[in-house]
Structure 1
Amino acid sequence: MSNKIQGSLKIMSLPDVLQWIGLAQKTGSLIFEKDKEKKVLFFRKGAVIGANSNNPKDKVGEILIRMEKITREELDQGLIKQKETGDLIGDILLARGYLTTKDFITALESQATQIIYDLFTWKEGEFIFQERLPAARTIPISIKVDFILMEGMRRIDEWQRIKEAFPSLDIILALEEQIPEEEEDGDLKAMRNLVNGKNTILDICDQSPLNDFETCNDLYNLFHNGKITKKGVRSPHEITDDDDVKRLLSRGKAFYQKGRFADAIPFFERIMKIQPENKEADRFLTRAITAVQNELLKTLGVSQRRIRDRQGIPHGRRQGLERRGGFCPLPD
């Protein structure tokens, strides 16, 4: 096989691509694109040394918050500083003493594996391996491909189990009424406000601070243990009232005005599903997408001029999840 490969995941699977890079001890960037979604894996001598994605939940700052290593306020302060200096957010958080180097390494490893494991669910998409890397980050990581392959296949099995329990994103989940609040475990406490008898699985994934796999896995465990139940299925044509649109617009604009463009996007996307003709939401969504796109390109060290109009970020949480075949794109 040549030093540079490109192709389709329909023809060459992700495990095959990773095995080639690992066995050949390649150094470079492996770029995946599908629709407007983009993920990049970085390798040095066959090991993963980092990853990036235009999915807001894949950002290292969000992962640090989920790990409870920094607060939302600390991240916001770091992002403001980043806009002023152009420094990497991790370097800023470390310099301010908001977290330790050990915690940051853990977050970077989590970010890389989260992005890779999501790629295991892709049935289709284009990829290209280039023997070049962006500027080295301050804190390097190294993850062996063999470990990634084993864990990735395990997660595919997990997604299949979840899909069998929840075949539709429009299933509405509710708490079992007989469970006293004092008897709730950690997963149930974390999901109590989201599993309210009104939210669908899609709604819960939209609002959960966890990534999609973690959220759906928690929901599956709660359902399997009899702590939550299926209340029904929402019609995909059901329209939310204007009050919900106003609430979503208000929250999205609040994030946008704080410079938290990635956090704003899901709110504007949700409005566009409810009211496709909403010009205000469409305008803010376009601006937020552009801002996140520019941020990603800056992080990757790529010239905006060279790839203008060729990048984007995921448009629609439903599309992102449904590409998993209703959670998991496994062969029939």
Structure 2
Amino acid sequence: MNASGLRGTLSSMGLADLLQWASQARKTGTLVFDKGSLRKQIHFRDGVIAASGSNDPREYLGQFLLRHQVISEDQLRDAMETQRRTGKMLGRVLLDGGLLPVEKLMRLLARKAEETIYSLFLWEDAHFHFVDGETPEMEIVPLALQVEEVLLEGARRYDSLKKVREDFPSDATVLRKTGMTPPADALSHPMAALLYDLVDGARSIADICLEAHAPEYSASLVLHRLYGEGHLEIAAGARRRTPSRGEALVVLSEQAKGMLEKGNFEPALVLLEQIRDGADGNPEVPDLLRRAEAGFVDLAYRHFLPPKKVPVLTRPLESLVSEELTPEEGFLVSRMTGSWDIESIVSISPLREVEVLRILKRLRERMIFRLQDPPEPATT
């Protein structure tokens, strides 16, 4: 495949214009979108959307099935262990294990692919480029989505989220129940019931999304509806999580290269993340970031977070309230039950592998948990 000359940012050429261009020109190829370390793709065949892809763990098949309560975390852990052992695709492992019929899996895969496309309407500052030619041969469920259909649904979602943002300015908003119980039909969908149950006056929307394996968009809509009906309210004075984002630093990428050469992967990661957004048009920074992430992951597994070691809390979970854990930290800590090893926790997390390992490293340095050998298999 050959890269075409079309490239830019979504702030200069919106997604709707890009989709219309591909449709009207009857393009065959792939639109690639990059936002930080995340990458999503829309594959076209003769101007029709044929497939999509994403490296966002929240959009992986396992997370999608957890979100729709098709499988449990334990079942996903076991399936991913089988996948690692056999090299089979996760969908095939689930089919072979009898966890869902092929017809249902195909429907869910198609729906997951559509959700990836719609999520791009909420990206406003991503870079894009178009690659001409045949779409890649992948084990994917083929779609046949007309661009006009996608534009209508995408615009609806964008407008819906704008209304939500008027009341919930960010995912740091903390909600609590008002005491007015929702009617049964308001919680008839399992996800709606789970989201409502997770509201406790302390969890932020980000906390709730992590715990429910739910994307911010769909979770926010459900919570906002319950808020509008008087079943939820914003918790006055509740703890709010403010993402720590340092101001953009003007730093030469040569500094990061030097760190990578010395094997200082985590400091290089921190530096590259700070300069990433200001490195428009510089392909070197994303490449360096990928090298730093790969180096850190390898170092973590080899030295301080062996994949088969089991993390065990050093004190009861209830006593960690004073630690002011972030939503991501809280999610991982809640899985430290003594039966999950590092590899299993990484596999079921909606976070990227490198993010999970960096958080676990920080938690271990704070002595939140210790590592122990896995239990010996029972003998019969």
Question: Offset at 1:4?
Answer: 4.8
Structure 2: how far apart are the matches of 1:211 and 1:180?
22
In 2, Cα distance between equivalents of 1:243 and 1:201: 16
Summarize the Cα distance change of 1:30–1:180 in structure 2 as closer, same or farther, 3 Å threshold. Answer: closer
Q: Contact between 1:47 and 1:144, CA under 8 Å: does it hold in 2? A: yes
Deviation at 1:26, TM superposition (A): 2.1
State the distance in 2 between where 1:140 and 1:180 align.
39
Q: In the alignment, which residue of structure 1 is the partner of 2:200? A: 196
Q: Which ranges in structure 1 are unaligned for 5 or more consecutive residues? A: 282-332
Mapped to 2, the partners of 1:91 and 1:183 lie a distance apart of 35
Residue 280 of structure 1, CA deviation: 4.5
Q: Aligned to 1:241, which of 306, 322, 334?
A: 322
Structure-2 change in CA distance of 1:82 and 1:9 (3 Å): same
- Equivalences for residues 26-175 of structure 1 within 5 A: 26-130=27-131, 131-137=133-139, 139-175=141-177
What is the TM-score when the length of structure 2 is the normalising length? 0.63
Larger radius of gyration: 2
Shift of 1:247: 5.9
Q: 1:6 is paired with a residue of what secondary structure?
A: strand
Kept after mapping to 2: 8 A contact 1:50/1:141 = yes
Cα distance 1:144–1:280, how it changes in 2: closer, same or farther (>3 A)?
farther
Give the share of equivalent positions with the same residue, in percent. 26
Over the aligned positions, Cα root-mean-square deviation in angstroms equals 3.6
Q: How many residues align?
A: 280
Q: Does the Cα contact within 8 Å between 2:206 and 2:216 map onto a contact in 1? A: no
Q: In structure 2, the residue corresponding to 1:171 is in which secondary structure?
A: coil
State the match for 1:263 in structure 2: 349
Question: How has the CA–CA distance of structure 1 residues 128 and 279 changed in structure 2, closer, same or farther, with 3 Å as cutoff?
Answer: farther
The C-alpha deviation readout for 1:127-185, integer Å capped at 9, x for no partner, is: 11112433232643322222111100011110111011212433221112243897973
Deviation string 1:22-66 (CA, Å, 9 cap, x unpaired) is 222222222110112211222222222322222222112222233
- The alignment partner of 1:192 has SS state of helix
Query: In the alignment, which residue of structure 1 is the partner of 2:279?
Result: none
Deviation at 1:197, TM superposition (A): 1.0
Deviation at 1:236, TM superposition (A): 4.7
TM superposition outliers: structure 1 runs of 4+ over 4 Å: 180-184, 235-240, 243-249, 266-273, 275-281
Q: 1 CA distance for matches of 2:361 and 2:343? A: 23
Q: What amino acid sits opposite 1:242 in the alignment?
A: E
Deviates more, 1:90-99 or 1:9-18: 90-99
Question: Post-superposition shift, 1:16?
Answer: 1.1
Q: 1:210 to 1:277 in 2, by over 3 A?
A: closer
* Equivalent-residue separation in structure 2 for 1:54 and 1:136 (angstroms): 14
Gap regions ≥5 residues in structure 2: 244-319, 367-380
SS at match of 1:134: coil
Q: Provide the TM-score with structure 1 as the length reference.
A: 0.71
Is the Cα–Cα contact under 8 Å of residues 95 and 101 in structure 2 kept in the other structure?
yes
Task: Measure the CA separation in 2 of the matches of 1:222 and 1:47.
Answer: 37
Once the two structures are TM-superposed, the CA of residue 21 in structure 1 deviates from its matched residue by: 1.6
